[in-house]
Amino acid sequence: MGRVYTASFDDISISAAQTLFNVATGTSGSPLNMAVSIHMIVLGQRTLTSWEAKPLRFTRTSGAYTASSGGNSATARPHNFGDAAATATARINDTTSNSGGTEVTLMTDDWVFLNNYLWLPAPEDRIILAPGQSFQLKLPTAPSGATSASGSITFEELC
């Protein structure tokens, strides 16, 4: 088993379409860069009080691309005390998507805002990224009004 990390955002106002999470592996060819397995995604909000659902897009980008921007970088925290920092990088709440490269939609889902969202696939259903690829969880449609949201993405660097 590799090293497991979680990157999060807490109490962020979401009022626009955005990339909620972007996890990028390092470029291929470096001995320090590893493949990554996406283990879990959790989302919640505490502002909207009427029923509303918006689509989620799970995408993977490969090839020469420019990373998403307009949000913040997030520190991926190791689950095991004393583990090294992640070699993968994480970004949160970017309003500009990756550009260039080849992006494919791996799956789609809906986030019903009155409920928390949990994506917890069986191990054989996890999304795997090779070195030089990135994973994005996109909210392609803005909520009807600004909402205060929190979320986490858990991933494993495969040794």
The reported pTM is 0.93
Which tens digits make up the pLDDT trace of 77-87?
Answer: 999 999 999 99
Question: Can you give the pLDDT at residue 41?
Answer: 98
Buried b / exposed e across 25-54, counting CB within 10 Å, b at 16+? bbeeeeeebbbbbbbebbbbbeebeeeeeb
CATH of the domain at 121: 2.60.120
Q: Residue 157: name the closest of 11, 43, 7 by CA.
A: 7
Report the domain count for the chain.
1
What phi and psi, each to the nearest 5 degrees, are found at residue 120? -135, 80
Domain range spanning residue 23?
3-158
Which whole-number Å values give the CA distances from 159 to 32, 38, 54, in the listed order?
10, 14, 36
